[in-house]
Amino acid sequence: MSKIGRKPVAIPAGVSIDVRGSMIHVKGPKGELTMVLLPEVKIAIDGSAAVVSRIDDEDASKARHGLTRVLVQNMVVGVSQGYEKRLEIIGVGYKAQVKPLDTARGKVQTLVLNLGHSHPINVAIAQGIEIGQDEKNKNILIIRGIDKQLVGQMASDIRELRPPEPYKGKGVRYLGEQVRRKAGKAAVAKAA
């Protein structure tokens, strides 16, 4: 039996889980998330916990047992606490700004990034994601949301626009990320 899959998912106060057929709905103070359950697993609500079990001992069922439990846990944490990723922008003249744009379909928020290119880069902010800047350091972007996968994907997409380069360390990186630095040509010339 899966070590992760057999642990019950604790349901905190203010969060409700509703299983209807092959759909699971998790509702909490920060919002609501929905997921389609895999056919190899089932969920039972036992008091203040959700228990994930598999229907048989096939390899596919074993593989998806722990996965489903973790996905349900991520949904519960998302609607109760939310998720957050922080990105650091390093470089002279590199900056970010959140701008609302009026389009024919309504109001769409856009992140405008100046990352050393000849033009600013406009990134559409996905629905359910909130991007802000740290009050003390404007070069730190804070990406928040209730869907862990969506928050991580948005942070990854922004980082991909200008990954940190190894010589001067300029670019977009996760806060606290260690970038291995390389010696430039000047260091090689002095050694010779």
Residue 163 token pair? 């990954």
Each residue's pLDDT expressed in tens, for the chain with a length of 192 residues: 468 888 888 899 899 999 988 899 999 999 999 999 988 888 888 888 989 888 888 888 888 888 999 999 999 999 999 999 999 999 898 998 888 765 655 667 888 889 988 999 998 888 889 998 888 888 899 999 999 999 999 999 999 999 999 988 899 999 988 888 888 777 555 655
- pTM for this model (two decimals): 0.83
Residue 19 CB-half CA count within 13 A: 13
* Strand runs labelled E in 94-160: 95-103, 106-114, 121-124, 129-133, 140-145
In the chain the first and final C-alpha atoms are separated, in Å, by 61
Q: Which residue has the tokens 């869907």?
A: 147
**Do 9-80 and 83-174 come out as alike in CATH topology?**
yes
Domain 83-174 CATH (choose: 3.40.225.10, 3.40.1410.10, 3.90.930.12, 3.40.50.300): 3.90.930.12
- Residue 187: its pLDDT value, please? 59
* Contact criterion met (CB below 8 Å) for 40 and 65: yes
- The verdict on domain 9-80 having CATH code 3.90.930.12 is yes
- Residue 159: its pLDDT value, please? 93
Residue 64, classified by CB atoms within 10 Å of its CB into exposed (0-12), middle (13-18) or buried (19+), is buried
Domain boundaries, the chain: 9-80, 83-174
* Strand runs labelled E in the chain: 9-10, 16-20, 23-28, 31-36, 41-46, 49-54, 83-90, 95-103, 106-114, 121-124, 129-133, 140-145, 171-174
